[in-house]
Homo-oligomer: A and B are copies of this chain.
Amino acid sequence: MGKQKPTIPKGTRDFGPEQMAKRTYILETIKTVYKKYGFQNLETPTMENLSVLTGKYGDEGDQLLFKIVNSGDYLKKVKAEDLEKGAKIMLPKISEKGLRYDLTVPFARYVVMNHGNLSFPFKRYQVQPVWRADRPQRGRYREFYQCDADVVGTDSLLCEAEILAMMGEALTNLKVTDHTIKLNNRKVLTGIAEAIGENGKESELCVAIDKLDKIGVDKVNQELVEQRGFTEDAVSKLLPIYEMSGFTEERIEKMKTFLASSEIGLKGISELEEVFNFTKVMGVPTEKVEFDVTLARGLSYYTGAIFEVKVNNANMGSISGGGRYDNLTGVFGVEGLSGVGFSFGVDRIYDVLEELDLYPQSAIETTKVMITNFDNAGRDYCLPLLQKLRTAGISAELYPDNAKMKKQMNFANKKGIGFVVLAWEDEMAQGKFSLKNMETGEQQLLTDEQIIEVLK
């Protein structure tokens, strides 16, 4: 039993040294940008009370929550008849906690619980795993990291401009230069519904338009008419929306005409103009930012700006997204806190950097130098150097056992170690060491101080 080969739960992953080095590179690059823009780190517990989690993600989300069996005698509240009533009725009696499903609800919960002590606007970033009991498939995991930054407690559109800047800067620092940052505004979508005479149906419109990239114009129109009750006339008026082209300024002018009859639509356009204006004054590059009037994203809680980022030269969906929501904490009884935020998809960015071969050498380097160990005399000769290298801040290791040259070289190669130190009688007689560059094969006879100089 205990001796059978162990496994890990489906949809979960181990991250070995190379993956961790690459993931750390991505996360540190992103966190550095977050911090530079004044965001502060928050971590919330893995477990939340189910009273906090349920009802926040829709019925499907509730199903996908991982629930924890109560500690101790978890059956103490269960009666025989509960079993007959089925899993759903019985669940609250055996489980009161669940695993974090996203970072937004715990953030809202934190803000409410610490409302009196926080200074608003509160800028927080949070980089932690979340769990969903989804069917695992390629690129979809049951445990995955989210990487959020949100500002709560202001409706200043400066925040939107800063988010455009942060998205661009993080991706530039990751060398993902060929990307497009799409920007829209929920009010524009509401305005479109009004302008085509389908007032109040922006949600249905959003759900359908959200599929535009996947199923195309005809099927979206068909869905709007057949499943969502739009008139043929209304749908025909959407053509200028589908055919929208040109630079941002041009699109904005076209939309002002299209939305002339919709007050809220024009409000959305004016917000967009202000955001673009802020980026200009700030000196944020905007050539990669595109006003995409059809950008809706699935989630319906956005009330203002909507963001999405795609990589143009990689085979991958959006790698980042976000938006403004007017009532983050209302569900927990604190009204009137507007927030805007976004998130990077770490797993997708990881795959993009793999596909485009964008990891720098420094991201995958492990120990800088390994000292070989052929016999005890050589080992003891090298031990002081080992510690001198570390004192100089150079990562170093000594192969811990006496072993054959080939074995040790293979080890160094496999671990991705850049340099190897060797010392036989010749070197020892001269008080020196041979330093071998594992990439070029070049070998130099050096003193300990020269080695430190070379490796620093």
Chain A residues within 8 Å of B, Cβ to Cβ: 1-9, 12-17, 20-21, 24, 35-38, 40-49, 51-52, 55, 66-69, 71-75, 78, 80, 83-84, 86-87, 90-91, 94-97, 99, 109-110, 112-114, 119, 121, 123-124, 129, 131, 133, 142-143, 151, 154, 156, 158-159, 165, 169, 278, 281-284, 331-333, 366-367, 370, 380, 383-384, 386-388, 390, 393-398, 400-401, 410-411, 414-415
Contact A398 B45 (CB under 8 A): no
Residue of B nearest to A114 (CB): B16
- Which of B94, B158, B395 contacts A400, CB < 8 Å? B158
In angstroms, Cα B120 to Cα A401, docked, is 11
| In the complex with contacts A45-B14, A48-B9, A282-B386, A87-B68 CB distance below 8 A | no
Can you list 21 A-B contacts with CB-CB less than 8 angstroms, sorted by A residue number?
A2-B51, A2-B55, A2-B332, A8-B44, A8-B48, A14-B114, A16-B42, A16-B110, A16-B114, A17-B40, A17-B42, A17-B124, A35-B395, A36-B396, A45-B143, A66-B69, A75-B90, A80-B80, A282-B387, A283-B388, A284-B387
Instruction: Point out the residue from B24, B113, B165 that lies within 8 Å of A14, measured CB to CB.
Output: B113
Q: A269: shortest Cβ distance to chain B, in Å? A: 20
Given contacts A14-B45, A366-B40, contact A71 B75 (CB under 8 A): no
Q: How far is the CB of A131 from chain B (nearest CB, A)?
A: 7
Q: How far is the CB of A286 from chain B (nearest CB, A)?
A: 12
- Closest approach, in angstroms, between the C-beta of A243 and any C-beta of chain B? 35
CB of A5 to closest CB in B, whole Å: 7
Q: How far is the CA of A314 from the CA of B72 in the complex (A)?
A: 35
Chain B residues closer than 8 Å to A397, beta-carbon distance: 37-38, 123
B91 touches A69 (CB 8 A): yes
Q: Is the CB–CB distance between A9 and B398 below 8 Å?
A: no
Given A69-B69, A69-B95, A73-B87, does the pair A9, B45 have CB atoms closer than 8 Å? yes
Q: Which residues of B contact A159 (CB under 8 A)?
A: 400
